Amino acid sequence: MEKTLKRMATMQRMQTTGLELFYSNGYYNTSVDDILKKLSLSKGAFYYHFESKEDFFIQIIQNLLARKIYSVLIEPIEGHDNPLERIEDCFDDALETAVHNEMDFGCVLNNFLTEFRGKDQKIMKHLFDIFSIWEVNLVSALQKGKFNGYVDRHVDCEAAATYLISSYFGVRTLMVGTAPSARKYRFMSQLRMYLKSLEPKAIAV
């Protein structure tokens, strides 16, 4: 698999700038030529390495997006005792990168999920797989927190995960407008309130 060739270097260059442009302009609004122009490469090079634009994008999803989602949104949460604190920090960090107009991969996932809805079913499946992994890990982190006494035992962990992801996806849409920093601050204050409502209500009898 690991063809220690020049091949890999070029493919990775294409994929990283591809993701950049797909993220900022959208998949359908980014032509293959746009990516190649930025790299001073030609169509021949592209179609030598990739079957099609769709195949190219799917490889980006699996090689870049999936791994980034894991390292930024999943790995920081799992394996700790108190998931609520971890979730708060994780969201805070992710939104902070968003404030600085850097690539926030949660937002990337959200954008692509809306862009491909009802259009490219194949790509949609890959995107949704990534999302599912995130969701499952968030649910199990909450359940573990419940087991360890950091989350109230009446909390519906699946519902909480849905709500958390929803709010996160949504706030990224709002942050493209005016004063993203202020919006982040407001969002985080209410997120903390919500997370507090998940804490154990009283000392168990």
Tokens matching residue 65 = 């997006």
CB of 57 to DNA, least distance (A): 9
> Angle CA(188)–CA(193)–CA(196) in degrees, nearest 5?
120
Helix/strand/coil (H, E, C) string of the chain? CCCCCHHHHHHHHHHHHHHHHHHHHCCCCCCHHHHHHHHCCCHHHHHHHCCCHHHHHHHHHHHHHHHHHHHHHHCCCCCCCCHHHHHHHHHHHHHHHHHCCCCCHHHHHHHHHHHCCCCCHHHHHHHHHHHHHHHHHHHHHHHHHHHCCCCCCCCCHHHHHHHHHHHHHHHHHHCCCCCHHHHHHHHHHHHHHHHHHHCCCCCCC
Partner whose binding site includes residue 34, from its own copies, DNA, none (CB under 5 to 8 Å by kind): DNA
Size of site (CB under 8 A) for its own copies: 44
Nearer to its own copies, 144 or 172 (CB): 172
Using the rule CB under 8 A, is 54 a contact of its own copies? Answer: no
Partner whose binding site includes residue 53, from its own copies, DNA, none (CB under 5 to 8 Å by kind): DNA
Using the rule CB under 8 A, is 131 a contact of its own copies? Answer: yes
Partner whose binding site includes residue 168, from DNA, its own copies, none (CB under 5 to 8 Å by kind): its own copies
Partner whose binding site includes residue 25, from DNA, its own copies, none (CB under 5 to 8 Å by kind): its own copies
Nearer to its own copies, 11 or 172 (CB): 172
Among the residue ranges 51-59, 60-68, 83-91, 178-186, the one whose residues contact its own copies (CB under 8 A): 178-186
Residue ranges that bind DNA, judged by CB under 7 A: 3, 5-7, 10, 28, 30-34, 40-45, 47-49, 52-54
Nearer to DNA, 12 or 181 (CB): 12
Using the rule CB under 8 A, is 113 a contact of its own copies? Answer: yes
